[in-house]
């Protein structure tokens, strides 16, 4: 997201806020057709990078299309204090689900049950084995109807065996495996028996598949954002030169909500 400095397009003038995939740079020259003009009066401009942007799209369509929530369902979200996860959790609550969030550290868990009003939160870092983490997920959830997975790895090993009949697993991301693990897959088939016996479905979702449906998202979610009923907290890092540092912060779990870098 950036601000227009100069434009030869009638549609844009200096000072306008625009959204575009302009890369990791301080300035860019591009065609106006590559940019989406933002309306600061409709919603805070940074929401175009959050709840009304790619993370919101991932959360909304991932949950609605693949998770298919029904009132009374138990929804477990991993990476629950992050950008996508915290929105999934809020959308799940609005859909009438019981929502249990999994995140790293007591502060994030307190934020999940406090600010987000979730029904439960689990600090996965406080468990030394998959078995003890699974026991806590079972204790808090009583079984899982929807598992929205942002992290993969050991957390998913703990959650997937707890799925209920006809559960839906939304495969959104596997951040625990991004540091090399994604090229050396774990023994994935060990989870398949659980899908088989519970007649469950696991569906991968990609935000890019729903770009053409952003109007749908904005129509439903913008009033909630304006009313303050749905929000995405922001962790802001200052300075273009700190971009690499900010990227690494994602793997260290420093951010709550959306991690943004303020270039200037």
Residue placing its CB nearer to ligand NAP in the complex, 16 or 136: 136
Note whether 101 binds ligand NAP by CB under 6 A: no
Gap between the terminal Cα atoms of the chain: 12
Among 75, 104, 167, 234, binds ligand NAP (CB under 6 A): 104
The residue written with tokens 């954002």 in the block is: 225
Output the smallest distance, CB 106 to ligand NAP, in A. Answer: 11
Q: Which residues contact 30 (CB under 8 A, 6 or more apart)?
A: 20, 22
Alpha carbons within 13 angstroms on the beta-carbon side of residue 245 total 9
Minimal CA–CA distance to 50: which of 264, 256, 263?
256
Note whether 81 binds ligand NAP by CB under 6 A: yes
Output the smallest distance, CB 63 to ligand NAP, in A. Answer: 12
Alpha carbons within 13 angstroms on the beta-carbon side of residue 86 total 27
The pairing of strands 201-204 and 2-3 is: unpaired
* Backbone phi, psi, residue 79, to 5°: 60, 35
Among 110, 206, 211, 236, binds ligand NAP (CB under 6 A): 206
Among 61, 76, 93, 108, binds ligand NAP (CB under 6 A): 108
Specify the stretch interacting with ligand NAP by CB under 6 A; choose among 9-17, 27-35, 97-105, 218-226.
Answer: 97-105
Residue placing its CB nearer to ligand NAP in the complex, 69 or 79: 79
Note whether 46 binds ligand NAP by CB under 6 A: no
In the range 116-175, which residues lie near ligand NAP by CB under 6 A?
150-151, 153, 155, 172-175
DSSP 64: I
Do 43 and 226 form a contact (C-beta atoms < 8 A)? yes
Write out the residues near ligand NAP by the rule CB under 6 A.
Answer: 55, 58, 79, 81-85, 103-105, 108, 150-151, 153, 155, 172-176, 205-207, 250-251, 253, 255, 259
């Amino acid at each position: 997201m950036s601000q227009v400095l100069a434009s030869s397009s009638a549609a844009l003038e200096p000072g306008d806020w625009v959204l575009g995939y302009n890369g990791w740079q301080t300035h860019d020259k591009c065609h106006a057709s590559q940019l989406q003009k933002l309306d600061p009066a409709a919603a805070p401009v940074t929401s175009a990078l959050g709840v009304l942007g790619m993370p919101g799209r991932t959360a909304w369509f991932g949950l609605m299309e693949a998770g298919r929530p029904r009132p009374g369902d138990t929804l477990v979200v991993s990476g629950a204090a992050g950008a996508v996860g915290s929105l999934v959790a809020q959308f799940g609550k609005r859909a009438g689900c019981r929502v249990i969030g999994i995140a790293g550290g007591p502060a994030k868990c307190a934020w999940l049950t406090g600010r987000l009003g979730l029904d439960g939160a689990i600090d996965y870092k406080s468990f030394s084995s998959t078995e003890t983490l699974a026991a806590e997920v079972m204790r808090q959830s009583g079984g899982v109807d929807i598992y929205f997975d942002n992290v993969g790895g050991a957390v998913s090993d703990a959650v997937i065996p707890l799925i209920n009949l006809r559960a839906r697993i939304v495969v959104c991301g596997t951040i625990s495996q991004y540091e090399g693990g994604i090229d050396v897959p774990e023994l994935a088939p060990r989870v398949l028996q659980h899908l088989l016996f519970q007649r469950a479905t696991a569906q991968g979702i990609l935000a890019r598949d729903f770009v053409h449906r952003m109007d749908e998202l904005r129509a439903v979610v913008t009033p909630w954002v304006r009313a303050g009923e749905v929000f995405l907290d922001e962790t802001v890092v200052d300075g273009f030169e700190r971009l690499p540092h900010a990227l690494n912060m994602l793997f260290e779990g420093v951010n709550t909500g959306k991690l943004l870098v303020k270039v200037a």
